[in-house]
Amino acid sequence: MHSLKYLLLGLHVLSSQANSVIPIENFGAPGIDATYDYVVVGGGTSGLTIAARLAETSGATVAVLEAGGLYEVEAPLLSVIPGLAAAVNTGTSPDDDSLLIDWNFDTVPQTGANNRVLRYARGKCLGGSSGRNFMVYHRGTKGTFDKWAELIGDTAWSWASVLPFFKKSTTLTPPDMSKRQSNASIFYDPVGFDNSLNGPLQVTWPNHGSPLSTYVEVGLASIGLLPDTDLNTGTLNGSSWASVTVNPKDQSRESSETSFLDQALGNSKLKVYQHAFAKQILFSGTTATGVKVDTFGVGYTIKAKKEVIVSAGAFQSPQLLMVSGIGPQATLQSKGISVLKDLPGVGQNLMDHFLFGITYRVNVVTATRLLLDLVSAADALTQYLAQKGPLTAPGFGVIGYEKLPASANLSNSSRAALDAAFPSDWPDVEYIGIDGIMNGWKNADDQKVDDGYNYGGISAALVAPLSRGSITINSSKMEDPPLIDLGYLTHPADAEVAVAAFKRTRQAWAGTDITLGDEYLPGPAMDTDASILEYIRETLVPVWHPSGTCKMGASSDPEAVVDSNGRVHGVKNLRVVDASIFPVLPPGHPQSACYMVAEKIAQDIKDGN
């Protein structure tokens, strides 16, 4: 039997971690019509955050409609233990087996990725994609949010204005260096957090420092990315051990469900409907009045006295708007949907990050050993029981960012396009040291190379993409998945940046001094710009950061869907609150921004805005 199977069997001793329950007073009754002040569609990262905050309001009743259930119950242990995040994540192959807690979306053929159809992971559970992600927590740059404010014409979204909401959602626990390796020490600036606010979301560092990442840090320094960069105070260029959303008490996954929802449980004003599939937003004229819902084939209506808040994510928030009559007129009419409000921007402006990488055999132990070596797997389990070891970390350690130097030789037109779109502190590329094999991540079998070697990768991700994709509907029914076009590598500047980042990754590998033999993948023969770009197109992997499909902006912006308070243009009592409303996707990992957006708009609602 494969050693991973033994490991998973052993992990059943940890089943007490999957005992998450929702008290009876917080259960919504499926199949029965009901009325609340606020109805939140989607119990994901932003949805549970805004629902929990609104339930704090005196007298306000809140319903959360979530199409999935508890990930700790429906995918126990696999979704809870950080070190298994990669092993159980959805691969890019459309036939990859997936968990019950994922929507199992497939894209349309991607023209910039050799017409590949990509399986795309999205959380279908309480916690949403915070129950499926790799748990990285950091913030965009100061310029990111100042640009955000500039784009929508509202200084309330500037860095200085949103930083308090970042702080409000989190509690920071320093790294436990008694359990981490001594050469994996961490620098951070505590000024980015305020624990006196008792933010529900736990942020810390794993009780394990990847040996590979200690050398990746050196390699990145060799190309100019200096270590010990704090990633939560408005600066990114440099490298750092990534802070993560992991519970410091037991080293388990932290999500919006284990944080915001858990804190709100016991407040009977909040009702949670599990396996409640939202089919349509209901209106009286142009005023949203409720949501048509289905649970296991039983239909019912949940009405909203004050507002319907859509937090279904960057794919399904625009889909729900469109099937409810809000979106591009021609699209709606082609599917037989009555047009309530013609909003051409619904489903447009899709922004996302993708990554690719270079793999070597290395002379340090990586997570690839756990897959094939029973002794190593058993040792990892033993260590995890003591809240330490490789299973406390989600398969990586150090991440770095840079704006490509002049030596990268970008064309004048590409550099000009990037400089026009992004502020000066916004990096072009993110680098990640990954304890595994970078080869398109088709499925977990990519990692099974039983030759006695350890493998490691350094990946590069474009975090200033100029390419844009789109979401549209396949029919008038939510049951039919949306048509997802990620748009990767459709802008010529992105292709240039990708090739330059690939070459920089090779330079970083040269500075690590841990490689064994020649480059394993793609191999040294891949040495022309054309062959490198072809390899990138064939092996690129989503970083699962879709955003922008219900873009925030003024009503005069033809692509804007919501105003600066998340209210949908042209209708009443309807908001969208999730990554779909980002006017621009922050560099790096947007989890923190999803929490921040929900915190800020919850306060806007409380303030009467």
Q: What is the tens place of the pLDDT at every residue in 301-345?
A: 999 999 999 999 999 999 999 999 999 999 999 999 999 999 999
Q: Cα–Cα distance between 113 and 206 in angstroms, integer?
A: 34
- Whether 413 is in a domain gets the answer yes
- Whether 135 is in a domain gets the answer no
267 with 242, same domain: the answer is no
268 with 243, same domain: the answer is no
Give me the helices (H) in 341-428, please: 368-372, 374-385, 412-421
531 with 399, same domain: the answer is yes
The stretch 406-421 carries a mean pLDDT of: 98
- pLDDT, position 3: 45
- Whether 421 is in a domain gets the answer yes
Residue 576 annotated in ligand binding: no
10 has a pLDDT exceeding 90: no
Confidence of residue 90 (pLDDT cuts 50, 70, 90): confident
Name the phi and psi angles at 432, rounded to 5.
-135, 130
- pLDDT, position 20: 62
15 has a pLDDT exceeding 70: no
Residue 133 annotated in ligand binding: yes
Could you say which of 208, 353, 569, 589 is catalytic?
Answer: 589
CATH of the domain at 456: 3.30.560.10
Residue 400's DSSP bridge partners are: 239, 431
12 has a pLDDT exceeding 50: no
Q: Cα–Cα distance between 357 and 484 in angstroms, integer?
A: 24
The DSSP element (H or E) to which 451 belongs, if any, is: none
In three-state secondary structure terms, 496 is helix
Residue 135 annotated in ligand binding: yes
Domain end point (choices 539, 557, 574): 539
- pLDDT, position 97: 73
Q: Which residues contact 1 (CB under 8 A, 6 or more apart)?
A: none
297 with 285, same domain: the answer is yes
Provide the whole-model pTM: 0.96
Read off the pLDDT of residues 101-135 as tens digits, 9 standing for 90 and up. Answer: 999 999 999 999 999 999 999 999 999 999 999 99
Name the phi and psi angles at 593, rounded to 5.
-70, -30
* Residue 339 CB neighbour total at 10 angstroms: 15
Mean confidence (pLDDT) of the chain: 94
Q: State yes or no: is 12 an active-site residue.
A: no
For the chain, the domain total comes to 2
The CA–CA distances, whole Å, from 151 to 157, 215, 425, 560, 603 equal: 10, 40, 17, 11, 21
At what angle are helices 142-152 and 159-169 packed, to 10 degrees? 120
13 has a pLDDT exceeding 50: no
Amino acid at site 521:
L
Read off the pLDDT of residues 55-88 as tens digits, 9 standing for 90 and up. Answer: 998 889 999 999 999 999 998 878 999 998 877 7
- pLDDT, position 9: 38
Share of the chain above pLDDT 70, in %: 97
312 with 418, same domain: the answer is no
592 has a pLDDT exceeding 50: yes
451 with 400, same domain: the answer is yes
Q: State yes or no: is 545 an active-site residue.
A: yes
284 with 396, same domain: the answer is no
Residue 133's DSSP bridge partners are: none
Evaluate whether 71 touches 79 at the Cβ level (below 8 Å). Answer: yes
299 has a pLDDT exceeding 90: yes
375 with 418, same domain: the answer is yes
Q: Which residues contact 302 (CB under 8 A, 6 or more apart)?
A: 28, 33, 34, 35, 36, 39, 63, 65, 273, 276, 290, 291, 293
Could you say which of 138, 353, 545, 569 is catalytic?
Answer: 545
- pLDDT, position 463: 98
346 with 376, same domain: the answer is no
Least confidently predicted of 42-51, 437-446, 486-495, 563-572: 437-446
Residue 45 annotated in ligand binding: yes
Residue 138 annotated in ligand binding: no
Q: The tokens 């970078």 sit on which residue?
A: 438
155 has a pLDDT exceeding 60: yes
- Whether 340 is in a domain gets the answer yes
Q: Cα–Cα distance between 548 and 578 in angstroms, integer?
A: 9
- pLDDT, position 96: 85
Amino acid at site 489:
L
At what angle are helices 492-510 and 412-421 packed, to 10 degrees? 100
296 with 402, same domain: the answer is no
7 has a pLDDT exceeding 50: no
398 with 528, same domain: the answer is yes
The DSSP element (H or E) to which 114 belongs, if any, is: none
Read off the pLDDT of residues 352-376 as tens digits, 9 standing for 90 and up. Answer: 999 999 999 999 999 888 888 889 8
In order, the DSSP letters of 268-299 are TTEEEETT-EEEEEEEETTEEEEEEEEETTEE
- pLDDT, position 16: 35
CATH of the domain at 345: 3.50.50.60
Name the phi and psi angles at 323, rounded to 5.
-70, -15
- Terminal-residue alpha carbon distance, the chain: 59
- Whether 105 is in a domain gets the answer no
Count CA within 13 A, CB hemisphere, residue 140: 31
Residue 136 annotated in ligand binding: yes
- Whether 485 is in a domain gets the answer no
- Whether 317 is in a domain gets the answer yes
Range of the domain at 39: 3-73+257-350+549-606
* Residue 357 CB neighbour total at 10 angstroms: 30
Read off the pLDDT of residues 517-555 as tens digits, 9 standing for 90 and up. Answer: 999 999 999 999 999 999 999 999 999 999 999 999 999
Cis peptide before 522 (omega within 30 of 0): yes
Count CA within 13 A, CB hemisphere, residue 312: 30
- pLDDT, position 558: 95
Q: How would you write 177-242 as a 3-class SS string?
A: CCCCCHHHCCCCCHHHCCHHHCCCEEEECCCCCCHHHHHHHHHHHHCCCCCCCCCCCCCCCEEEEC
- Whether 92 is in a domain gets the answer no
283 with 216, same domain: the answer is no
Confidence of residue 447 (pLDDT cuts 50, 70, 90): confident
The CA–CA distances, whole Å, from 189 to 193, 224, 233, 462, 565 equal: 8, 21, 8, 26, 31
Read off the pLDDT of residues 471-500 as tens digits, 9 standing for 90 and up. Answer: 999 999 999 999 999 999 999 999 999 999
